[in-house]
Amino acid sequence: MDIHFLSVIPEVFPPYLDASIMGRAQAGGFVRFFTHNLRDWTHDRHRTVDDAPFGGGQGMLMKPEPFFEAVGEIISRSEVALKVVFLSPHGTPFTQEKARELSEEAGLLLVAGRYEGMDERVFSLADEVISLGDFVLTGGELAAMAVADACTRLIPGVLGNELSAAEESFEDGLLECAQYTRPAVYRGMAVPEVLLSGDHGKVALWRRENALERTRRLRPDLLAGEEVSSRA
């Protein structure tokens, strides 16, 4: 899978993408990351990517011309088909289901904005517009990295153990069950006895019931209108 990033500060991506699982995914040939500086598609000596909004208002807006030129050229040079995804607060909320869907694409072009936003005409380039949630970031770079991370770890082979991704939060509409490791008792807090029993059937049932309980308590919105079985 090829994942491209378009931003005015492309230098923020490599430190994260070259580390840990993302770095190993690249080394293993599962994914290739490409960063692009939007300013490379400007034509003035100041490499200007923003301007004042028509009608007045606070801040500066990102100009349409660099985006249209950049997206067109990146797509034309790509070795695989690219799905163009813009990161913006007005986008569709990002979910695990969407991450899995995007992970099956041959390639993604993740476009990160800055300043007060982008000229509205820029969004005509997008195949999809995605939001991480109802909050505002300084720029779309963090959101783009989050999308890339969530998608990359779902590519078969990246995590090594395929069950690692299958048993995580949101994969079946629930939060993941509580997890414990050694010591069995710490500061008076004990690991549930069933997890020490060695009875795989009872452990599976406990995990399912605990996932349901945690979801009801911590994220009841995930269960709204849903009938979820407690059977493992």
- Residue 91: how many CB atoms within 10 A of its CB? 18
183 contact partners, CB below 8 Å, separation of at least 6: none
pLDDT of residue 16: 97
pLDDT value for 231: 58
pLDDT value at position 211? 95
Q: Which pTM does this prediction carry?
A: 0.89
Identify the helix (H) or strand (E) that includes residue 50. strand 50-51
Q: How high is the pLDDT of residue 57?
A: 86
Q: Which two three-digit tokens encode residue 186?
A: 């710490």
Sheet (strand 83-93) strand order: 32-37, 2-7, 107-112, 83-93, 128-131
**Dist. CA 23–CA 17, nearest whole Å:** 6
Domain boundaries, the chain: 2-152, 167-223
Eight-state DSSP code of residue 39:
G
Q: What pLDDT, on the 0 to 100 scale, is given for residue 173?
A: 83
Q: Which two tokens stand for residue 187?
A: 């500061």
Return the pLDDT at 153.
97
CATH number for the segment(s) 167-223: 1.10.1270.20
Q: What is the pLDDT along the chain (232 residues), one digit of tens a residue?
A: 999 999 999 999 999 999 999 999 999 999 999 999 999 999 999 999 999 999 988 899 999 999 999 999 999 999 999 999 999 999 999 999 999 999 999 999 999 999 889 999 999 999 999 999 999 999 999 999 999 999 999 999 999 866 555 556 566 789 999 999 999 999 999 999 999 999 999 999 999 999 999 999 999 999 986 555 555 5
**2-152: CATH topology:** Alpha/beta knot (3.40.1280)
The reply to whether 2-152 and 167-223 are identical in fold is no
Contact assessment for residue 92 and residue 129, using Cβ atoms and an 8 Å cutoff:
yes
